[in-house]
Amino acid sequence: MSRQTHHPRRSLRLPTAGSSLVQLACAGLLGLAACLPAQAALFGDDEARKAILELRAKVDANRQSGDSALAELRRQQAEQSANSGRVVLELANQLEALRTELSQLRGQNEQLARDVTELQRQQKSTLNLVDDRLRSLEPVRVSQDGVDFTVLPREKAEFEAAMSALRAADFDKAADLYGQFMRRYPDSGYSPAALYWQGNARYASRDYKPAIDSYRALIAKVPNHARVPEAMLAIANCQQELKDAKAAKRTLEELFKSYPKSEAGIAARDRLARMQ
């Protein structure tokens, strides 16, 4: 009875690649290894070695093929991962660029809103200024000494400024302001009143001769004005202050003759009676 030698099965460790090619190679190797004792009994040692070498060559070839496939798979995975990383990075960059652009647009929008607000403010200010200028150019109707006429707003303001100085007893300033007014507005409806009150301001300052000039300018300019009788009486007062009694008497006689029923005319009559 022939002695049979039992060879224990050798477990071959294959790299865990998850590849179907590697699994096929391992299965083929295990199957051939199980048949080795029987083949060794049927063939000679040379043939057995040859078979083993062929088997090893096939296993090596299968292993190389599996390793190549695994390397290719890993390369593809790495490439896909790199591509995915580039895509993610590119998307992140685009998102950041959009955020920056949105922030800039918001800033520009806020600046535009401020500019619009400032333009509206300037426009309102300009319109108010134009309205003020138009109002300053629009004549206003006034009444002075029973006479109605129109004057410019600034003309009215300057006359009232002179009157304010007179009421404040600043007689020199008032006389000067009346003079400036008449030079600026020689044809103003305020001119007769300006001459009369200028004469009063000069009389209050004891400038009697300049006061007489103001009163006479009023009489020459508007002989029928309501202030003429009062101006003539004031001239007589200045003449008396200047110690010119004859001139004062002539002025009072002319006043009473021209305006006998006026208050100034009645005052002239009483004063003439006292002179006799």
Distance between CA 227 and CA 230 in Å, rounded? 5
- Could you tell me which residue, 45 or 16, shows the higher pLDDT? 45
Mean pLDDT of 120-131: 80
Which CATH class for the 140-274 domain? mainly alpha
Backbone phi and psi for residue 15, each to the nearest 5 degrees, phi listed first: -65, 135
Mean pLDDT, the chain, rounded, equals 84
User: If you average pLDDT over each of 53-57, 85-89, 171-175, which comes out highest?
Assistant: 171-175
- Could you tell me which residue, 131 or 99, shows the higher pLDDT? 99
Instruction: Count other C-beta atoms under 10 Å from residue 17's C-beta.
Output: 17
Distance between CA 36 and CA 49 in Å, rounded? 10
Cβ neighbours of residue 52 under 8 Å, at least 6 residues apart?
A: 36
For the cut 70, the answer to whether the pLDDT of residue 4 exceeds it is: no
For the cut 80, the answer to whether the pLDDT of residue 276 exceeds it is: no
Instruction: Count other C-beta atoms under 10 Å from residue 76's C-beta.
Output: 10
Helix, coil or strand: residue 142: strand
Distance between CA 276 and CA 274 in Å, rounded? 6
Q: What's the pLDDT at 61?
A: 84
Distance between CA 230 and CA 265 in Å, rounded? 9
User: Checking phi first, is residue 262 left (phi over 0); if not, alpha (psi -120 to 50) or beta?
Assistant: beta
Tell me the torsion sign for CA atoms 90, 91, 92, 97. positive
For the cut 50, the answer to whether the pLDDT of residue 12 exceeds it is: no
In angstroms, the Cα distances linking 262 to 196, 197, 230, 265, 268 are 17, 19, 9, 5, 10
For the cut 80, the answer to whether the pLDDT of residue 105 exceeds it is: yes
Cα dihedral angle (218, 219, 221, 225), rounded to 10 degrees?
90
| Residue 201 contacts residue 177 (beta carbons within 8 Å) | no
Q: Quick one: tokens of 157?
A: 């303001």
Instruction: Name residue 150's beta-bridge partners.
Output: 141
Where in the chain are the domains? 54-138, 140-274
Q: Which residue has the tokens 């100085």?
A: 165
pLDDT band at residue 79, thresholds of 50, 70 and 90? confident
**How do residues 219-250 score in pLDDT, each as one tens digit?**
999 999 999 999 999 999 999 999 999 999 99
| Residue 258 contacts residue 266 (beta carbons within 8 Å) | no
For the cut 90, the answer to whether the pLDDT of residue 171 exceeds it is: yes
* Helix, strand, coil percentages in the chain from 3-state DSSP, rounded to 5: 80, 5, 20
For the cut 90, the answer to whether the pLDDT of residue 270 exceeds it is: yes
